[in-house]
Chain A
């Protein structure tokens, strides 16, 4: 059960090289790209706009709708059939839950904010990259936000607690626990928490502490990219 060295030679708590850019889809109301290692997420926001069919409308608030989509050539191995899957439906839903707490949609009754995230290339951590990109795109769209949302997968590979797992680590033969986490960097609140694998309560706590720590780096990059877009 000993994982001596990471497959890509990173330190246990080190994130893969990241890149963040705002305004990558000029047609959208807000957009952003977030790259972490070989995982690339492009997010675009449209709205607040009319919501159809009408019965979905909420007269006291706008609603948030996320759509997570891996492009057909983005997966490991075979082509991913387009058109959505049970997996993409679930991820879209947890994305909504992780982003909604920072938004205040009371001012936009009966409308929808659509967030679309497409991934042209993936190597694990896609839902976290999608959330990170989406939160920048929402800010770029000029919506009122209490905070950004930064997300990363932490976990346990063999006997080591690590940050930002790769696909190779997720398929580590002797066991891997994958814990995607989204954090509001200023309050430290957690808005996404999932886990695949086994972990002791102590290790879970350690992993979450680690997530909180490394999300700060992501947050700084998100802020930098947003400032870059709006500097004079």
Chain B
């Protein structure tokens, strides 16, 4: 591990990464929309070899008592054991929970969905939006792939038909989910004194710390999450936020 790290640092000093990319370059991104007809909205995101499938299911539920006229949002991550030899079947571990919560916060805090429009009967029935993020192949940077996937899947989502208290999942309407803002998370990693984005699995493991920054279209930061064992200085954070903002603008072009 230690040897690997000094090897990586030596390479980074020369501005080289394991796969020859520059420090702040993403791998090629391939998006495919509507990959699951049974979901109300779905997409697959490939960043290099890393792949996630995101599906959105809608339902009608009772609202939470403190938000009687707002729809419910839930984000769940399934780190499927098929995507990485280190993932095991069973209930979500801390990695999966952190990932889901970071994506959830970005969407919730940016007020991406107009939740008031998801109210059916105040205090009784509201729409629920459940985003499931499933890893298919993990070769690093599931975080950004998931964030990108969640946003695209939400934009694809249409309401199923709902009449007199019955949901007809097989009949999809043409009404899209009311998306008013579009948060996008970008994660910047720090290894030694170097900052990089879109890490491979090996780089992810060797990173000292990371910062996920969720950014709206109008460049407002709407969620942050620092990860990793090592501390960051304010100066580090400034730099990382700047890199994230620049990358978010680039990523938006491909949506």
Contacts and interface: CB of A to CB of B under 8 A. Distances in A.
Interface of A: 24-28, 31, 38, 40, 42-44, 46, 49, 67, 69, 71-79, 82-84, 114, 116-118, 120-123
Contacts of B169: 76-78
Contacts of A123: 38
Contacts of A79: 57, 59, 130, 132
Given A82-B78, A118-B134, A76 B85 contact: no
Contacts of A116: 80-82, 89
Given A72-B55, A77-B169, A78-B59, A28 B82 contact: yes
Nearest to A45: B82
B82 A25 contact: yes
B37 A27 contact: no
Given A25-B137, A77-B169, A120-B53, A72 B76 contact: yes
Interface in B10-55: 35-40, 42, 49, 51, 53, 55
17 contacts: A25-B136, A27-B85, A27-B139, A28-B85, A31-B82, A38-B38, A40-B36, A44-B82, A69-B80, A71-B134, A72-B132, A73-B36, A74-B38, A76-B170, A78-B169, A82-B76, A118-B82
A26 B82 contact: no
B49 A27 contact: yes
B91 interface: yes
A121 B89 CA distance: 20
A44 B81 CA distance: 9
Contact of A73 (B39, B83, B91, B136): B39
B144 interface: no
Give the interface size bracket for B toward A.
Answer: 20 to 34
Interface string B203-243: 00000000000000000000000000000000000000000
Contacts of A76: 38, 169-170
Contacts of A77: 167, 169-170
A49 B137 CA distance: 19
A73 B55 CA distance: 6
B150 to A, nearest CB: 12
B56 interface: yes
Given A71-B78, A79-B130, 12 more contacts: A31-B82, A40-B36, A42-B82, A49-B85, A72-B57, A76-B169, A78-B169, A79-B57, A116-B82, A118-B134, A120-B134, A123-B38
Interface in B158-193: 167, 169-170
Contacts of A71: 36, 53, 55, 78, 132, 134
Nearest to A72: B132
A54 B35 CA distance: 39
B81 A121 contact: no
Nearest to B57: A79
B117 to A, nearest CB: 21
B67 interface: no
Q: Identify which of A28, A75, A117 gathers the most chain B CB atoms within 10 Å of its CB.
A: A28
Given A27-B85, A78-B57, A120 B49 contact: no
B84 A67 contact: no
A122 B38 contact: yes
Nearest to B44: A120
A80 to B, nearest CB: 9
A78 to B, nearest CB: 6
B104 interface: no
B134 A27 contact: no
A28 B85 CA distance: 7
B121 to A, nearest CB: 20
B69 interface: no
A26 B49 contact: yes
B81 A67 contact: yes
Interface string B106-141: 000000000000000000000000101010111100
Contact of B78 (A44, A49, A72, A78): A72
